[in-house]
Amino acid sequence: MPSVQLPPKESALFKRVLKCYEQKQYKNGLKFCKMILSNPKFAEHGETLAMKGLTLNCLGKREEAYEFVRKGLRSDVRSHIQMRDLEGYRETRYQLLQLRPTQRASWIGYAIAYHLLKDYDMALKLLEEFRQTQQVPPNKIDYEYSELILYQNQVMREADLFQESLEHIETYEKQICDKLLVEEIKGEMLLKLGRLKEASEVFRNLIDRNAENWCYYEGLEKALQLRSLDERLQIYEEISKQHPRAVSPRRLPLNLVPGKKFRELMDKFLRPNFSKGCPPLFTTLKSLYSNTEKVSIIQELVTNYEASLKMNGFFSPYENGEKEPPTTLLWVQYFLAQHFDKLGQYLLALEYINAVIAGTPTLIELFYIKAKIYKHIGNLKEAAKWMDEAQSLDTADRFINSKCAKYMLRANMIKEAEEMCSKFTREGTSAMENLNEMQCMWFETECILAYQRLGRYGDALKKCHEVERHFFEITDDQFDFHTYCMRKMTLRAYVDLLRLEDTLRRHTFYFKAARSAIEIYLKLHDNPLTSESKEQDINSEVLSAKELKKMLSKQRRAQKKAKLQEDRKHTERERQQKNQKKKREEEEETASGHKEELAAEKLERVDNPLEEAIKFLIPLKTLAADNIYTHLLAFEIYFRKEKFLLMLQSVKRAFAIDSNNAWLHECLIKFSKSVSNHSNIPDIVSKVLAQEMKKIFVNKDLQRFNEDFLIHNATSLQHLLSGAKMMYFLDKSRQEKAIAIATRLDETIKDKNVKTLTKVSEALLDGSFGNCSSQYEEYRKACHNLLPLTSAFLPAVTDTALNRTIDPELLWPEI
């Protein structure tokens, strides 16, 4: 209801405006707004102006929308339409309750307002008053009434009213549809209240219902207060006898026992799984691989199985009776391939998987694992090839199809990935468009990374903005559920929805897209595109002028030939797609207005890349403040804008999360150096910077600070690389020593893997250590000896080729 009372005629029109907005009939909504505002008495009616602004925003008219919202705020600053105000929400719900006391949405809305404000007592009073008005027979099960009871109980649990929650759930148990949830709530509340014997009975019953839920075993252990290892093992043994086909009561004890007992239980666990053929066996045991003792026992057991099965067909040379089926050896070798892949012994893993494929060339799982091994090796072209082979064995398997597309994208085979996905997308439209419509964000984030590596920054940014639009649409679509949830009483889901709104953009997909967008805008700020940039997006320092000209000419001819072939192949299909797309766009425009088209050329040639980067950064600073990379990305932006206090804020927040982070170390050195190089910093700012930097650097000069960092992280190649970069950054004369530190490959280094070694080779090529082509070649050869199949270290690899063959996330710190 508008906060300024309108006459009946205008009030009815305003209600129609709200209804049109909810139903996305934006053009009709504008007509009704115009009818209200055309009356001179209500030309400045704040809420109508605000609604007109919101409607224009949905039609893509942003500037005009902002103007009307500003007018609406000036006319009625208390309007509920412009802000998410829980106190205001409570007041409006109270007014609605007074106006429409017989409608349940009024009662529920008012109760939810108190719940969100954490006034649990008032929320419970309102819910109970409303519940008493519902005439539901005691023995009748009504879904909406059941949801109301469960929502009441949720509020009680959030208020820590454990006794009341237990009594409540027991009282209305017969009228609740979700019987499993009733038992879970009982178990949780009995544990909280210390009624352990009753809790143990509840959890035993839950295990009888689902013996594979690990949470139930955890609850049972707490209820029984098992202290000794023998007591815990006895419980699992009893349950295993009761549920002989259940995996969990045999798997969970493996987390508990060491040494000989582990060997005994693991032997009993592995044999039946190998005999019957269990493809996900390794996945089930993978969490044990953090314990080196257990890993060595697993390896010894399984290699002994292999040797004995080859020799006499039994798991042990001392057995007799019926021999194991031939497939048992297959699954043992399949397991060993995954085992050695996990340990980083890739050549041995390939030997095993190749041996299995030679004997059984029709099993999808074998080619899938072979592709994974090549991915871990760092040879993504080969990985995509074998995943495609797996996909060809069952073209109707959507999972393998998606995996194949993902591997192709990681190998920068974007067109091939799109064609792969087209097998499961709508006919008559391109896979790329259809996946965008379906908000398939795993595909889009992988596309972003592929375009980014290929230097197609416009296309990458287009995908980043598409992902950003998806999150805007998700937020917008949530409005559809507000009235629906009140009507259908799905109140628990409704509260979860409201809480989701507060954290939506901390989702991994948004973070990945935002991070890539920020990195690209930083690159565009450092190296703005010129008219010839697209043709010369290679490292011309590596090639002579003649070679560069020859390469560019060859590339242009190849591109022209490929384009002609592509045009002939897709002309007819594109014509059909264009007609369907035009029809669809007309329908969308009628419903929700015109969307601004995202043009790759325009996106990569923005006037102020840093301002565009900040637009992606702001949601991360608000919702992903606990992620260190949020603050490191913020630093990189503010470093280029020379905003010293914001730079300080960023490094301080990052320092509080992980003071030993390698990227943070680089930021700290650059920050301190930048401050010392600027003489025009205001005195008050300079004083604050000096005080805060003293806390971080502890009165050490930058050289000493960097040396201490290198000493403290002498076994971490990632940290040594950052320290070496900063050594060269601070003193260009120490290039040789810096490179020697970064290229260490001795036995003391713990993280000699594809990811870190590739980072070092990238640094040798990108100018972080100046011109060092000879040192790079030496390092490449050394890495090639360590990882002979990794494409990044194969002979005659230029920096451009390197960028086009490495894993998309190898150069990213893990999120």
Which CATH number goes with the domain that contains 352?
A: 1.25.40.1040
pLDDT for res 2: 45
pLDDT for res 194: 94
Which of 432, 454, 485 is the last residue in one of the domains?
A: 485
Contacts of 623 (CB under 8 A, 6+ apart): 502, 503, 504, 505, 506
Task: Identify whether 25 is part of a domain.
Answer: yes
Q: What is the pTM of this model?
A: 0.81
Residue of 147, 157, 144, 145 lying closest to 115 (CA atoms): 157
Residue of 191, 185, 195, 129 lying closest to 158 (CA atoms): 185
**Which residue segment(s) compose the domain that 413 sits in?**
258-485
**CA atoms of 673 and 682, how far apart (whole Å):** 17
**CA atoms of 377 and 521, how far apart (whole Å):** 31
pLDDT tens-digit map of 266-275:
999 999 999 9
Which of 455, 485, 515 is the last residue in one of the domains?
A: 485
Task: Identify whether 182 is part of a domain.
Answer: no
Number of domains in the chain: 2
**Residue bearing tokens 């100018």:** 767
| Residue ranges in 314-379 assigned as alpha helix (H) | 326-342, 346-359, 364-377
**CA atoms of 292 and 343, how far apart (whole Å):** 10
Contacts of 770 (CB under 8 A, 6+ apart): 728, 732, 735
SS3 state of residue 227: coil
**CA atoms of 636 and 666, how far apart (whole Å):** 11
Residue 361 backbone dihedrals phi, psi, to 5 degrees: -80, 15
Which of 457, 485, 513 is the last residue in one of the domains?
A: 485
- Indicate which CATH number applies to the domain containing 68: 1.25.40.10
pLDDT for res 569: 58
Alpha carbon separation from 796 to 555, 780, 791, 792 (Å, rounded): 18, 10, 11, 10
Task: Identify whether 450 is part of a domain.
Answer: yes
pLDDT for res 797: 45
pLDDT for res 93: 47
Contacts of 555 (CB under 8 A, 6+ apart): none
**CA atoms of 346 and 374, how far apart (whole Å):** 8
DSSP result, 769-791: TBS-HHHHHHHHHHHHHHSTT-G
Residue 101 backbone dihedrals phi, psi, to 5 degrees: -70, -15
Task: Identify whether 805 is part of a domain.
Answer: no
Residue 204 backbone dihedrals phi, psi, to 5 degrees: -65, -40
Residue ranges, the chain, pLDDT below 70: 1-5, 72-105, 531-552, 554-556, 558-596, 796-815
**CA atoms of 646 and 14, how far apart (whole Å):** 44
pLDDT for res 78: 44
**CA atoms of 663 and 723, how far apart (whole Å):** 10
Q: How many CB atoms lie within 10 A of CB 425?
A: 18
Task: Identify whether 282 is part of a domain.
Answer: yes
pLDDT for res 87: 53
pLDDT for res 529: 80
Burial category of 38 from C-beta neighbours within 10 Å (exposed 0-12, middle 13-18, buried 19 and up): exposed
**CA atoms of 405 and 445, how far apart (whole Å):** 12
pLDDT for res 562: 64
